């Protein structure tokens, strides 16, 4: 790495860290929990009442061959693309980083934010369905820029939607892709002793081929990749937990104990430690489940469903899989091996254990170092790669909104450049830059969501009535 690049990183890093600390500790926590609580009340806790409905819609007719859809995707393709964006490095590296900084109790705050976030992501999917349009290329498009314009049909709405479009393009299309390639490069380098820039080059080449194929190629890949990658990772994690089953009660006890007394493991005063734990739960929870961020609505807008409510319930299942299944599994693996049973992190962070290698160390303690490193590296490769595909699609939609169809190819080329750069830059700076733009895009999205509470409540009521009527006739 050149001296100029190192100097730039040294200057930028503390600035971005300070901004992110303020945003995540004082603004995002209230925004995310607030909008989740708001929609939980407005929809009468749709995440509880309609969860079973969503599960039936997702798994009742499960297929990995959705086929080419005219002007959009099948409901499952849309869900797979959304999950592809949600399930990425945030579920492994992000979860590990949060636990390392905030202690095992961080998982509790992730659960809490995710529970309310299920109502948020329901509202995002519903509004995306209601406001979607046919783009210049003849394909259906949708997302926050369109429901923000519906909420504010004036200059303020134009500004807010443009601000969101710029923030998400930078956050996901460029900076976010750097996070994914960075994590892929570092874990594969540790496992297979291949230079990270070589891995970055290969990932960029394959991703570029899919990027240039447009929405249909992305949908075709994600609908097959997501279920397979999730099953492999879950199977490996479950095997490890069976091997560490004697430590599971202690693991859950640590999660709940350190949720409220994190100072016992991360140090400092109780107030400071608790703020750190909640902040890490909010920041990393947002990065993982993306509820309220405004990313997944782009995928859900493309689904061909009878009513917006239908895709809303499907979106909730996607978030459940991301946080309560995949991310939770990572956390249980890490806590049961590195914290429980007087593990190496039982007294707090130690030198040599980082958010990037933490999961590899945990799996290595049961599977052996080589197998553990390789398993996590391969899983992370697929997780991160699927996220790159989903985020590229979301950025593409917003670039077209800002600049029209002609900007599509330019965007794809720039995305490939940033993807490669991520494999050679500092892990810490890349993560902080991504968090910064993630934080920015949340604000306009949440403003739009709060303004459209009535529309979501009406859609939920109509959708539930239609579903009950359909069930009555089937009986």
pLDDT at 335: 95
Query: What is the C-alpha separation between 307 and 282, in angstroms, rounded?
Result: 31
pLDDT at 71: 54
8 A C-beta contact, residue 247 and residue 341: yes
Query: What is the C-alpha separation between 11 and 14, in angstroms, rounded?
Result: 7
pLDDT at 316: 93
pLDDT at 473: 64
pLDDT at 475: 53
Is residue 304 assigned to a domain? yes
Joined together, the tokens standing for residue 303 give 């689904």
The DSSP letter of residue 92 is I
- The per-residue DSSP string of 195-228 comes to -HHHHHHHHHHHHHHHHTTHHHHHHHHHHHHHHH
Is residue 2 assigned to a domain? no
Query: What is the C-alpha separation between 190 and 344, in angstroms, rounded?
Result: 20
**Domain range for 230:** 7-474
**Pick from 149, 27, 129: which is nearest to 82 by CA?**
129
Is residue 147 assigned to a domain? yes
Quick check: helix, strand or coil at residue 43? coil
pLDDT at 113: 86
Total count of residues recorded for the chain: 475
Is residue 126 assigned to a domain? yes
Is residue 1 assigned to a domain? no
CA dihedral 231, 233, 237, 238 (to 10 degrees): 10
**Pick from 179, 391, 381: which is nearest to 298 by CA?**
391
Neighbours of 155 (CB within 10 A): 8
pLDDT at 227: 79
Number of structural domains in the chain: 1
pLDDT at 63: 53
Is residue 319 assigned to a domain? yes
- Tell me the β-bridge partners of 141: 133
C-alpha to C-alpha distances, 144 to 94, 193, 198, 412, nearest whole angstrom: 25, 42, 36, 21
> Mean pLDDT in each 10-residue stretch from start to end of the chain (475 residues)?
67 83 75 89 92 86 52 72 72 84 89 91 95 80 93 94 94 84 80 83 86 72 77 92 95 92 80 81 72 87 89 92 90 94 84 85 91 87 83 89 88 89 75 81 92 91 77 64
pLDDT at 5: 61
pLDDT at 151: 94
Q: Looking at residue 275, which CATH number applies to its domain?
A: 1.20.1740.10
Tell me the Ramachandran region of residue 72: left when phi exceeds 0, alpha when psi lies from -120 to 50, beta otherwise.
Answer: left
8 A C-beta contact, residue 412 and residue 215: no
8 A C-beta contact, residue 88 and residue 383: yes
């Amino acid at each position: 790495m050149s001296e100029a690049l190192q100097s730039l990183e040294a200057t930028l890093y503390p600035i971005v860290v300070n901004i992110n600390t303020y945003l995540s500790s004082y603004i995002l926590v209230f925004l995310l929990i607030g909008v989740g609580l708001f929609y939980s009340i407005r929809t009468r806790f749709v995440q509880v009442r309609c969860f079973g409905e969503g599960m039936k819609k997702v798994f009742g007719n499960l297929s990995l061959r959705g086929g080419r859809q005219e002007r959009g995707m099948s409901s499952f393709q849309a869900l797979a693309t959304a999950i592809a964006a949600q399930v990425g490095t945030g579920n492994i590296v992000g979860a590990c980083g949060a636990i390392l900084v905030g202690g095992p109790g961080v998982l509790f705050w992730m659960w809490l934010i995710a529970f309310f976030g299920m109502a948020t992501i329901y509202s995002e999917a519903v509004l995306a369905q209601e406001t979607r349009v046919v783009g210049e290329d003849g394909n259906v498009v949708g997302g926050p820029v369109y429901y923000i314009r519906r909420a504010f049909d004036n200059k303020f709405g134009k500004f807010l939607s443009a601000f969101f479009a710029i923030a998400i393009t930078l956050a996901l299309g460029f900076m976010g892709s750097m996070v994914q390639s960075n994590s892929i490069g570092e874990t594969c380098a540790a496992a297979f002793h291949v230079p990270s820039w070589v891995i970055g080059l290969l990932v960029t080449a394959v991703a570029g081929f899919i990027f240039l194929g447009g929405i249909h190629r992305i949908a075709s890949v994600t609908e097959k990749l997501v279920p397979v990658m999730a099953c492999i990772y879950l199977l490996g994690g479950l095997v490890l937990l069976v091997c560490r089953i004697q430590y599971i009660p202690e693991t859950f006890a640590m999660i709940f104990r350190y949720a409220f007394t994190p100072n016992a493991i991360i140090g400092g005063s109780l107030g400071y430690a608790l703020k750190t734990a909640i902040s890490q739960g909010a920041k990393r929870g947002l990065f993982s489940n993306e509820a309220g961020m405004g990313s997944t609505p782009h995928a859900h807008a493309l689904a061909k469903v009878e009513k917006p409510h239908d895709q809303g319930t499907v979106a909730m299942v996607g978030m459940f899989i991301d946080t309560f299944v995949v991310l939770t599994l990572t956390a249980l693996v890490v806590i049961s091996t590195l914290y429980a049973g007087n593990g190496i992190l039982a007294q707090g962070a130690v030198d040599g254990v980082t958010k990037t290698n933490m999961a590899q160390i945990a799996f290595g303690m049961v599977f052996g170092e080589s197998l553990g490193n390789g398993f996590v590296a391969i899983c992370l490769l697929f997780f991160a790669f699927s996220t790159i595909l989903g985020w590229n699609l979301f950025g593409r939609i917003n670039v077209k909104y800002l600049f029209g169809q002609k900007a599509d190819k330019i965007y794809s080329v720039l995305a490939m450049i940033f993807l490669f750069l991520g494999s050679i830059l500092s892990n810490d700076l890349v993560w902080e830059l991504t968090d910064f733009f993630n934080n920015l895009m949340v604000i306009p999205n949440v403003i739009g969501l709060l303004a459209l509470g009535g529309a979501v409540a009406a859609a939920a009521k109509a959708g539930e009535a239609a579903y009950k009527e359909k069930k009555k006739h089937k009986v």
